[in-house]
Amino acid sequence: MADTLRLVAPFLGAGTLALVAFFLIGSLRVRPKVARGLEDFYGSAGNEQQAASRGEQIGNRVAERLPFSLETWEEHLHWAQRGGYFKGWEIGRLVFTAMIYAGVGACVLLVNPAPVSLLVPLGAAAYPFISVRAKANTVRKRVVRGLPEVAALVAAEMSAGVSPDQAVQRAAVLPGPLTSLLSDVFAYSRSAGRPLFGRKPVRGALVEVFSQADLPELLSFAAQLDLVAEKGVAGAMLMNEVARTLGREYRSRLDSEVEKLNGKLMLATAVFFFIPFVLVILGSFMVPVMSIFG
């Protein structure tokens, strides 16, 4: 098996590089002046159905032929974009980027045609997806951390006599990824004709959008705001209590993360400093001993 792979690996690597070069040349090919003029015309007319780039088209075709669904990664990409990452990306561009990374990783097969070298292009292809998921998880954590601040602002606005709907709209101007999520709520409320807060039997737009985000903290916050909106005048007092509760939960979670950070720092110190230092010391003693017995 290893001998066969050594024979096939150079051809596999060279073929992959040739395929990647062909796609890159095709995607970077200079467009005719007439084609550029037409694309500029459609863009100025606000046409949302413009043709995607060559690489994105290739990625979309590959994604359609995959034996598994990429809906989860589309959700990760959407979450990452809420935080300002990967702006303008679609799933096709992500797949095409993974193909480029895999092609570059296949160069290792030309240098070292061993079975273990197959892990390099596979790992390179997985890297863009891992990066998108990491950024999405970062944005999710930022959204959860921003809930106490939004709750405090809504509580202050309601204490000043502002309605819950207007209070949430004013809270949407705060910086952070939660603002993007609230913008999605208002856009859904306008397009679907639903009220911001639920009125039985109609489900509110806030609960509807936050439930699709698949974050328990967001769904709980939306349900609490729905309850506050139902209370009328007493809603301001209830919202103040909600803000204090979220603040206490955030401080408790922060203290827990600080305690975990101490353990992580100790583990990193042991792995990257203490253990290599001990190995160097032992090696300096073992080399003369081995030379004597050798």
> 80-102, pLDDT tens digit by residue?
998 889 988 999 999 999 988 88
CA distance 12 to 141: 42
Q: CA 144, 150, 152, 155 torsion: positive or negative?
A: negative
Task: Say what the pLDDT of residue 48 is.
Answer: 37
Residues 232 and 238: beta-carbon distance below 8 Å: no
Torsion of CA 170, 77, 193, 227, to 10 degrees: -60
Residues 58 and 92: beta-carbon distance below 8 Å: yes
Q: Tell me the pLDDT band of 280, cut-offs 50, 70 and 90.
A: confident
Q: How far apart are the first and last CA of the chain?
A: 36
CA angle at residue 89 from 83 to 95, to 5 degrees?
120
Task: Say what the pLDDT of residue 173 is.
Answer: 84
Cα–Cα distances (Å) from 126 to 64, 83, 170, in that order, read 18, 22, 41
Which of 45-54, 83-92, 242-251, 270-279 shows the lowest per-residue confidence on average (mean pLDDT)?
A: 45-54
In single-letter form, the type of residue at position 10 comes to P
Under DSSP, the state recorded for 213 is: T
Structure tokens at 209: 């959008």
Task: Say what the pLDDT of residue 265 is.
Answer: 72
Mean pLDDT of the 161-175 span: 87
Instruction: Give residue-wise pLDDT tens across range 4-63.
Output: 555 555 555 555 555 555 554 444 443 444 334 434 444 444 443 344 577 888 888 888
Structure tokens at 102: 């895999």
CA distance 87 to 195: 30
Mean pLDDT of the 155-171 span: 88
Widest distance between CA atoms in the chain = 89
